[in-house]
Amino acid sequence: MLIETFLRKQLGLKAHTVKKVEETEKYMMADIDRLGSRLLRCGVCRQRCRKVHSVCKRREWRDLSMRKLPLILRYRPRRLECPRCGVRVEDFPWAEPWSRTTRTLSNAVAVLARELSWQGTARQYGLNWKSVATIVKRAVRYGLRHRKRPPVHMIGIDEVSRRKGQVYLTVVYDLERRVLLWVGDDRTEEAVKPFFTEELGPRRSRTLQVVCMDMWAAYAKLVRDHARNAQILFDRFHIVKHLNEAVDAARRELWRRLTAKERTTFKGTRWLLLKNPWNLKGHQKERLSTLVRWNAPLVRAWYLKEAFQLFWTYKQPWRAEQHLTKWINSAMRSKLEPFKKFAQMLRSHLDGILPWTKIRLSNGAVEGMNNKIKSISHRSFGFRTAENFIAAIYHCCARLPLPVER
Ligand SMILES: [Zn+2]
């Protein structure tokens, strides 16, 4: 079989043909031409058109490599007089209208870009970074237009940081199907609102049953405004994170209160706690008791933390509530500022914390996806623009369909 015939079949050409294939040191060049007077299709509506208006200058498309050599298609596109659209450039069976790579190459690049960085993918296919960015963004746009949109019942809203915690994005997951639904440019009410008004729309917002999230006022307000049937559930992992931060803050506060002299006494005293008390000498005993006295706030913090965690084990709502109320009261009396703050936060968010006994759902189910987003950001040395980062997140986490090859 001639290589021209082989390519014509592979490219699925019907109104075009491969005239000749040339080999240079760096490329394989395939010259494409129109086949006789077969009708070409309008590039906008794909309708067959009788009249050719003019012939454009030659354009080139990159295709997959033929063994070691990149294959390049060359063709002079026709402009057609479409009865519906007017004068338009024809439709190419091998590529999207404005693309400079064939559909086959674009899809191969898109598939690899789910695993590798954009730089790595570009290197693999001998393209530049920008071409890969264009291909991925186009694939994402296609995927978002063509993905299935089944009803959503349980979602998780979370934030991811870009550029070392300076900028935040909001990500929304379908917790049942464990798939990314949406990415927003910020974590403000204004930035996340389009998820409810545009992505879901009022009708699908009504089917939402549970929304799992951090205690972040903007998110809660949006759910109350746009998904009134949904139960807000404050995410277990976020609550525990706040609790751990309170312990850390208590430790830092204690350290700050000590004078420089006291700090030196504190340092290198761990052995005092490990030694048998009856082996301690008089001045060592004194030091130990000072140490224990100073440490008392930390011990209280530690006990509070452990006691709080029991909450997650209760199955009866009234018992869980009783435990939490008692815990909040003792935290308020603990003389530990960070714990008082944490307790106040819990008190004002009880209506979204107590439902845990009935719902038992958390964003932990999509923890892996959050880690994936972190690795996407790392492997690309942090995307400079939010637009590119968002495209990469959709591309790797939303299970979008790729453009179909005709
Ligand atoms: Zn048309």
Instruction: Find the 41 Cα to ligand 1 centroid distance in Å.
Output: 8
Residue 39 Cα to ligand 1 midpoint, Å, equals 13
* pTM for the model: 0.87
Give the distance (Å) from ligand 1 centre to CA of residue 50.
12
C-alpha 89 – ligand 1 centre gap (Å): 9
Cα–ligand 1 centroid distance for 270 (angstroms): 81
The CA 78 to ligand 1 mean position distance, Å, reads 13
Span from the CA of 87 to the centroid of ligand 1 (angstroms) = 8
Contact 39, 48 (CB under 8 A): yes
Ligand 1 center to 43 CA (angstroms):
7
Parallel, antiparallel, or unpaired: how do β-strands 210-213 and 154-162 relate? parallel
Please give, one letter per residue, the 3-state secondary structure of the chain: CCHHHHHHHHHCCCCEEEEEEEECCCCEEEEEEECCCCCEEECCCCCEECEEEEECCCEEEEEEEECCEEEEEEECCEEEEECCCEEEEECCCCCCCCCCECHHHHHHHHHHHCCCCHHHHHHHHCCCHHHHHHHHHHHHHHHHHHCCCCCCCEEEEEEEEECCCCEEEEEEEECCCCEEEEEECCCCHHHHHHHHHHHHHHHHHCCCCEEEECCCHHHHHHHHHHCCCCEEEECHHHHHHHHHHHHHHHHHHHHHHCCHHHHHHHCCCHHHHHCCHHHCCHHHHHHHHHHHHHHHHHHHHHHHHHHHHHHHHCCCHHHHHHHHHHHHHHHHCCCCHHHHHHHHHHHCCHHHHCCHHHHCCCHHHHHHHHHHHHHHHHHCCCCCCHHHHHHHHHHHHCCCCCCCCC
Residues 315-345 pLDDT 10s:
999 999 999 999 999 999 999 999 999 999 9
Tell me how far the alpha carbon of residue 19 lies from the centroid of ligand 1, in angstroms. Answer: 27
Interval between CA 134 and ligand 1 midpoint (Å): 25
Q: What is the pLDDT along the chain (406 residues), one digit of tens a residue?
A: 789 999 999 999 999 999 999 999 999 999 999 999 999 999 999 999 999 999 999 999 999 998 889 999 999 999 999 999 999 999 999 999 889 999 999 999 999 999 999 999 999 999 999 999 999 999 999 999 999 999 999 999 999 887 766 789 999 999 999 999 999 999 999 999 999 999 999 999 999 999 999 999 999 999 999 999 999 999 999 999 999 999 999 888 888 887 777 777 667 666 776 777 778 888 888 877 887 787 788 889 989 999 999 999 999 999 999 999 999 999 999 999 999 999 999 999 999 999 999 999 998 888 889 899 988 888 776 577 889 999 999 999 999 999 887 6
